[in-house]
Amino acid sequence: MFYRASLQAAAALASLSLLAGCGLLSDSGSEVEQKIVVGTTSEPSTLDPAAAWDNSWELMRNVFQTLMSYPSGSTKPEPDAAEWCKFTDTTSTSYRCKLRAGLKFSNGDKLDAEAVKYSIDRITALKVKGGPVGMLGSLDRIETKGDDIVVFHLTKPDATFPFILTTPAMSLVAPSAYSEHKLRSDGKITGSGPYLLDSYKPGKSAELVKNPDYKGYANRKNDAVTIRYFKDSAPVVAALRKKEIDAIYRGLTAEEVVSLEENKDKESNLQIVETVGADIRFLVFNPKDPAAGNVAVRRAIAQLVDRDALVAKVYQGTAEPLYSMVPKGIAGHTTSFFDAYGDPDQGKAKQILTKAGINKPVELTLWFTTDRYGSSTAPEFDELKRQLESSGLFRITLKSKPWKTFQEGFTKGEYPVFGRGWFPDFPDPDSFIAPFLGKDSITGMPYMKNEITKDLLPQTRKESDRGAVSKQFEQVQKILVDDVRILPLWQGKLYVASGEDIGGGERALDPQTVMQMWELYRKASW
């Protein structure tokens, strides 16, 4: 039967399974290989870390290593491929790491200091538009000392640099398998992570098997994982009910979550684990578009959007309104957009447009992706269209594309307004501000704001106590409200649904909301 498992309850349940992670017993008493099948609507857009600043991280976390990462239960960077890492100066401009001994890639190449240097330098050399190069803005150069010491020299103090090194974008790759001149495109991966990519079929599946040479923090509780990719939530949920898959991550609609929570299907023997989410959704405005480039148009939209109605109608309590780019639960969260605009008000929106000399309905096209953020995305944009058009101030056209072509479009600046989601690079307010600013903004469009990028953010990066930077981030968000280049909409909750014989769901998500597949296991039966 369905039941809702809180984090505490799920953890208690997991502890009852004394043989967890040790395999199941066959009828003959021998141990059976544990294989887990996970379904998701979040297919990678690339297998190359140098281009990955999106949900491709889901797969990469499980097949690559990074110098630092998040062991289950940790919210601070801890060593992974590194034995230790630390700042070696008082200004947070020199960060040194010593590698674990005996590391090697899946092709047999040695994972040494030069390989680490190559992996990070390759990101800056390729400079993939919309890729993770923007995360390395403070990096000056990388120095190696012997086979096992890597020193990152920064151009300015950056207390967030250890967090950056935890991201799957900073995955370590074998130099012999990854060109410094172009992205890898053969559908294969050469890493040193907990699993090997045995096979990959775009749009269908990824087959992961244990890496016998892995040396890292991950305690693998299964032997192999199949990730199946679905276009919509209905087929992935149907597959779970038919026991064709064991678990779902990313792909449940609000209705499906509510159905699971309310215990409506008593015969399916499924469970759902809810965790606090830091994922956000927002609109991005193209400053070069004749309509969206007008700040009055953007402010009128900010005055009209009814987040409460959006969340209630489309997400049914599985999300909550968001009034700043920094979500609840993260230091520096504010309600800056509510403070500036208050409740939705058609009269005020009309005044904004009239004052700017706009007296006719504004024609605008809103774009969204069909296969990245779940099946609720289309209803969400239907509701946004309804809200804007009911004011009589806008005429909205909706258009959509699958993620890969959608991403190509927004990085070329083709869309006037489009919807994006963001899962944090790391659990810090910087991760919800810096990626959207500068010439390498992940929106695909440069957003230059010197007051933020040259003053406020550098101030925060000098402070290792991340809870002490709230005032600077409050000021940053006031500037974002004035520009309305980005309009936050809602903050989500995260869910893992699975058969009740599957354990580990409560530990499977790291602080970057990335699935650690090694935590899932099939509970032993007596």
Q: What is the pLDDT of residues 40-76, one digit of tens each?
A: 988 999 999 999 988 899 999 999 999 999 886 677 8
Local confidence band at 103 (pLDDT 50, 70, 90 cut-offs): very high
What is the predicted pLDDT for the residue at 31? Answer: 57
Average pLDDT over residues 394-422: 94
The neighbouring-strand residues paired with 326 are: none
SS3 360: coil
Residue with tokens 């790491």: 97
* Angle at 403 (CA atoms; ends 400, 409), nearest 5 degrees: 70
Average pLDDT over residues 166-194: 97
Lowest mean pLDDT among 96-105, 292-301, 487-496: 487-496
> How far, in Å, CA of 494 to CA of 491, rounded?
10
> How far, in Å, CA of 55 to CA of 42, rounded?
7
> How far, in Å, CA of 229 to CA of 205, rounded?
6
Q: Over the stretch 250-301, which tens digit does the pLDDT of each residue have? A: 878 888 888 877 765 555 688 998 876 778 999 999 999 999 999 999 999 9
What is the predicted pLDDT for the residue at 232? Answer: 85
What is the predicted pLDDT for the residue at 267? Answer: 56
Q: What tokens does 498 get?
A: 């699975």
Is the pLDDT at 20 greater than 90, yes or no? no
With CA atoms as reference, report the closest residue to 65 among 20, 116, 25. 116
Q: Write out the DSSP string of 290-345.
A: TTTTSHHHHHHHHHH--HHHHIIIIITTSEEE--SSSPTTSTT---HHHHHH-S--
SS3 206: strand
SS3 405: helix
The DSSP element (H or E) to which 122 belongs, if any, is: helix 113-126
What is the predicted pLDDT for the residue at 32? Answer: 63
Contacts of 373 (CB under 8 A, 6+ apart): 281, 419, 421
Q: What tokens does 115 get?
A: 């390989």
Is the pLDDT at 19 greater than 60, yes or no? no
* Angle at 333 (CA atoms; ends 56, 337), nearest 5 degrees: 100
Rounded (10°) CA dihedral 338, 344, 347, 348: 20
> How far, in Å, CA of 83 to CA of 101, rounded?
8
What is the predicted pLDDT for the residue at 73? Answer: 67
Average pLDDT over residues 153-177: 95
Average pLDDT over residues 199-222: 96
Amino acid occupying residue 337:
F
What is the predicted pLDDT for the residue at 256? Answer: 86
Positive or negative, the CA dihedral 109, 114, 120, 124 is negative
Q: Is the pTM of this model over 0.85?
A: no
3-class DSSP string for 11-66: HHHHHHCCCCCCCEECCCCCEECCEEEEEECCCCCCCCHHHCCCCCHHHHHHHCCC
Is the pLDDT at 485 greater than 90, yes or no? yes
Q: For the chain, what is the total number of helices (H) and then of strands (E)?
A: 15, 24
- Burial status of residue 65 (CB atoms within 10 A of its CB: 0-12, 13-18, 19 or more): buried
Instruction: Tell me if 415 sits within 8 A of 286, measured CB to CB.
Output: yes
What is the predicted pLDDT for the residue at 21? Answer: 39
Share of the chain above pLDDT 90, in %: 64
Q: Over the stretch 304-357, which tens digit does the pLDDT of each residue have? A: 999 999 999 999 888 999 999 999 878 788 999 999 999 999 999 999 999 999
What is the predicted pLDDT for the residue at 521? Answer: 97
